[in-house]
Structures are given as structure tokens and as C-alpha cells.
Amino acid sequence: MITFKQFITESFEKPYKWKLAGDTKPQAGIQNHMKGNFKGKEYNFETSDGRKGEVQIFEYDINPPPKYARNPIPAKQGRTMEMHFSVEVVERRWDRQTSKQSSDVTGEGDAMKIFATVLDVVQKYVNKNKPDIIKVIGMKQGNMDADHGGVGSRIKLYDKLVKRYVGKLGYTYDGTKWDMEDRRLKVMRLVRKGYVAFPKGHLLNQ
């Protein structure tokens, strides 16, 4: 009989099979970057109990077109990647059954396998495309599902996963978490090793 720790480890090392579903666009948040060489991909997988899972990856220029620029002192041009995922959640109420997509899977029995799948998609995408910055977004407190525009789950779990695998992906993470959307969300910024946003001589790196 394997221990619970062994079960968790084995589940995390065996992701679900996934496939590329095609191109996709964000519903909100980063449309202004879409003219800055934007591209989006969606990947699908299915859990052992038949629930549908989605992983969306958006990539765009660090410095957007002048029309949308906010920073008067732009950083070195490069590519930013964002990842969002959700899994079908089935709700049973009396004689009715409904389902929706949610990014909060921390209470599910196969949560580690789902995270392993997400990480597998991200790793293969990163190895091929090598974005300069990866943004990992999660809730500061509590949970927010897809119905309310949520893009993350529990930030503490994300933080642990990032710290564990960031080096294997070829990136660095200094532990800083940035507030966004009235401090409801936290953003972790992973930087590709060797990429310098503000090179020596830049006004922000004197």
C-alpha cells in the first residue's frame, strides 16, 4: 500500500492527456495588447470522471503599440505570457444538475493531477516559444470562479508550485506578488534567465 504522500507525488507526475483545441482570444483584461503581436492558444483535457478542462495561454508584446502605452519609460521589448485554466464543476441541487467552468480545483480529489496537466501544457509551450515574462495570477484571499471573472485559485498554492518548478522552466522568481484589480488578485512575475527588462543605462537602472 502506498502512502498518501506517494499518491500525491505520483498523481502530480502523471498529467492527463491533452490536445491543442485551436486559437482563442481573451474575454476581458488584455484586449488592448491584441494588436501588439497577440496570439492565444487553447488546450483541452478530460478528467477521469469525465469533466472538461481548459488551459488558455495568451502571449503579447511587453510594450504595447503606442496607442495603448501607459509607461512613459518603456522596458526592453519582449514577450509576456499569461496562463488561465478552468475545469468543469458539476453541481447537483435536488432534481437538477448543472455544470460550469471554475478555476478553483483545490478541493477536488484529482487536484494534483489537474495541476500536473496545466504545468505540462505550460512547460511544453514555454520550451517552444520562450516568452521573456510569465505572469501567474491568483486570488489574494478566498476563491473566485469563472462566473465572476476569476482567473486564479489559492495564491499560496500557486506560490509553492511556482517556487518548486520555476527553475526547471528556466525562469527566476523573487517572491514578489503585485496587486491588481483593487487588490483582489495577486500577480507573480517569472522572468526568463538572461532577460533584462531595464538594461544598464536605462533611466530605471542607473
Q: 45: closest CA among 105, 98, 128, 107?
A: 105
pLDDT (tens, 9 = 90+) of the chain, 206 residues, equals 444 444 445 545 689 999 999 998 876 656 655 566 888 999 999 998 888 999 999 998 887 777 776 666 667 788 999 888 888 876 666 666 555 565 555 555 578 888 889 999 999 999 999 999 998 877 654 444 444 444 444 677 778 888 888 998 899 998 888 776 655 677 888 999 999 877 665 555 54
Nearest to 87 by CA among 135, 131, 145, 174: 145
Which residues pair with residue 43 across a beta bridge?
A: 20, 55
pLDDT at 106: 53
Distance CA 43, CA 148 (A): 22
Rounded distance, CA 52 to CA 150, Å? 18
Fold classification of 4-192 (topology level): Aminopeptidase (3.40.630)
Helices (H), ranges, the chain: 4-12, 111-129, 155-169
